[in-house]
Amino acid sequence: GVWAGVIGEIGCLLPLENGERKVLHASAAAQQRTGAALAIHPSRSDDLVLEIINILDDAGADLSRTIISHIDPFGFSQATCRKLADAGCYLEYDTFGYADLFPPYQGRVLDIPSPTQRINDIIQLIADGYLDQILISGDIC
């Protein structure tokens, strides 16, 4: 048969709504059944992305097979990135080259980090021991 390789991208708004909590629980259950990775599209909030990970963990998700997308445009702090990586998550930097392309998101203009800032953030995470959990891609389809 055909098996899922990735479940998602699972979108979560700020504030997290009950329906989204149900989807996170269902995604964790689907991951347990299939072994597929989860791809999470968080909103721009350090607290929210950590809440998402707590929900997934409580629901039995394998956080070592969980990708947090859009680390770079959402401006998560290095402390939050370390917490996500310590939980086992992959950190996806996926908007290189987008500096002037983002429309307002949820009513706000995003302050997209420069390529230099992104690279410096990645270098720091590598120095902290998270090389194997960093993903770099282009979020264009």
- CB hemisphere CA count around 2 (13 angstroms): 2
- Residue 92 contacts residue 122 (beta carbons within 8 Å): no
pLDDT higher than threshold 80 for residue 106 = no
Q: Please give the pLDDT value at position 97.
A: 74
Bond into 15 cis (ω within 30): yes
CB 28 within 8 A of CB 59: yes
Rg of the chain on CA atoms, in Å: 15
**CA 42/CA 10 separation, integer angstroms:** 8
Pick the more confident residue, 140 or 79. Answer: 79
pLDDT computed for residue 108 by the predictor: 63
- What percent of the chain is predicted at pLDDT more than 90? 71
**pLDDT at 103 (0 to 100):** 63
- Please state which of the four CATH numbers 3.40.190.10, 3.40.50.2300, 3.20.20.140, 3.90.1490.10 is assigned to the domain occupying 6-136: 3.20.20.140
